Structure 1
Amino acid sequence: MSTSADDYDSLSPEDRQIRDKEDRAREKVEQDALPYKWTQELDEVDITVPVPKGTRGKDLVVVIQKKKLSVGLKGQDKILDGELCQEIKMEDSTWTLEDNQLVLIHLEKINRQQWWENVLKHHPKIDTRKIEPENSKLSDLDGETRGMVEKMMFDNQQKQMGKPTSDEMKKQEAFKKFQEAHPEMDFSQTKFS
Structure 2
Amino acid sequence: MSAPEPTPEEQKRLDAEAKAKQDAEQAALPYKWSQTIKDLDVTISIDAKYKGRDLDVKLTRSHLKVAIKGQDPIIDGDLPHAIHVDDSTWTLETVPGGKEIAVHLDKVNQLEWWAHVVTTAPKIDTSKIQPENSNLGDLDGETRGMVEKMMFDQRQKEMGKPTSDEQKKLDILKQFQQQHPEMDFSNAKMG
TM range (shorter): 0.5 to 0.7
**Could you tell me whether the CA contact under 8 Å between 1:138 and 1:146 is conserved in 2?**
no
Q: 1:33 aligns with which of 28, 31, 38?
A: 28
Gaps of 5+ in 1: 1-5, 150-193
Q: Which residue of 2 aligns with 1:122?
A: 120
Aligned-partner SS, 1:136: helix
Query: 1:126 corresponds to which letter in structure 2?
Result: I
Match of 1:61 among 56, 62, 69: 56
Q: Is the 8 A contact 1:89 1:108 kept in 2?
A: yes
Q: 1:79 to 1:135 in 2, by over 3 A?
A: same
TM superposition shift of 1:148: 9.4
Q: What whole-Å deviation, never above 9, does each CA across 1:86-133 have from its counterpart, x for those lacking one?
A: 111111100000106100000011111111000110110000001111
SS in 1 for 2:75: strand
Q: Matched residue of 2:133: which SS?
A: coil
The structure number with the bigger radius of gyration is 1
Q: Which amino acid aligns with 1:20?
A: D
Q: Which amino acid aligns with 2:117?
A: V
Could you list the structure 1 runs, at least 4 aligned residues long, displaced by more than 3 angstroms after superposition: 137-141, 146-149
- Match in the other structure for 2:12: 17
Q: Which moved more, 1:71-80 or 1:18-27?
A: 71-80
* 1:62 partner SS: strand
Aligned counterpart, 2:41: 46
The letter of the residue matching 2:12 is Q
**Is 1:108 aligned to 2:106, yes or no?**
yes
In the other structure, the counterpart of 1:134 is 132
Asked if 1:71 corresponds to 2:60, the answer is no
Q: Secondary structure at the match of 1:114?
A: coil
Tell me the amino acid that sits aligned with residue 39 of structure 1. S
Distance 1:139-1:16 versus aligned 2 partners, 3 A rule:
closer
Question: Which amino acid is the alignment partner of residue 15 of structure 2?
Answer: D
Letter in 2 for 1:45: L
Q: TM-score, normalised by structure 1?
A: 0.67
Identity score, percent:
42
How many residues are matched?
A: 140
- TM-score, normalization by structure 2: 0.67
